Amino acid sequence: MQYNENVTISNMFDSDIEAQLTKQDYTPTQRIGGVEVIDLKEFADDGGSFLEMGRLDAGHLQGASGLEVRQINYSVVLPGAIKATHLHKKQVDFWFVPSHDRLLVGLKDIRSGSATEGVVMRFVLGAGRARMVRIPNGVAHGVANPYERPMSLIYFVTEQFNSNSKVCDEFRLPPEYFGTGFWEIKAG
């Protein structure tokens, strides 16, 4: 069977195919108040690359509203792992995934009375882009690695971790808090 170039756009496919056709939605999603995605500059040459993740002035991360960095963490997320969901009442996080890695990030504003209360954000960090995301206190967050190799997460935080349950600022919610299928790769 040969393709007929005289077919018009309106009858290009039979009705069964036409009924199945959809379009992907590229509309930008609403951003949670206080969440910032910060583009970083990465320089590459024949010998490798250089990335400045941030500049500190007496513990204060430049461009971060005067917040003092109190701890820097490095985490490896294994394939299939979901590190979700938790939040902090005091701590602000700054997450970075190296551009040669990629992790799926989920955020939900659960701050009572916030202008963006209930707004959910889902995006990939890394994946060829040098970016850092600022996660305000009171925003539930998590990360997943639905890919086939371990991935890295580096994060600056404004509070030092304390495992004493009386003062610990890490509060947990179930991984399903974002909804069924949230952490799965979406067909596109």
Give a yes or no: residue 99 inside a domain. yes
Q: Which of 112-121, 148-157, 173-182 has the lowest mean pLDDT?
A: 173-182
103 in a domain, yes or no? yes
- What pLDDT sits at residue 6? 58
Q: Is the peptide bond before 158 cis (omega within 30 degrees of 0)?
A: no
Examine residue 26 and state whether it is found in any structural domain, yes or no.
no
* In-domain check, residue 147: yes
> pLDDT for 93-123, tens place per residue?
999 999 999 999 999 999 999 999 999 999 9
DSSP element (H, E) containing 16: helix 15-20
pLDDT on residue 92: 95
CB of 140 within 8 A of CB of 173? yes
Exposed e or buried b per residue across 49-87, where buried means at least 16 C-beta atoms within 10 angstroms of its C-beta: eeeebbeeeeeebeebeebebeeeeeeebeeebbbbbeb
**How many domains would you assign to the chain?**
1
Q: Is residue 140 part of a domain?
A: yes
Sign of the dihedral through C-alpha 154, 159, 160, 164: negative
Where residue 49 sits, what CATH number does that domain have?
2.60.120.10
Q: Is residue 18 part of a domain?
A: no
135 in a structural domain: yes
Q: Which domain range does residue 51 map to?
A: 37-175
**Looking at the domain assignment, is residue 16 inside a domain?**
no
Residue indicated by tokens 């941030």: 54
The model's pLDDT over 5-63, given as tens digits with 9 standing for 90+, comes to 655 666 678 888 888 888 877 887 889 999 988 888 888 889 998 988 888 888 788 87
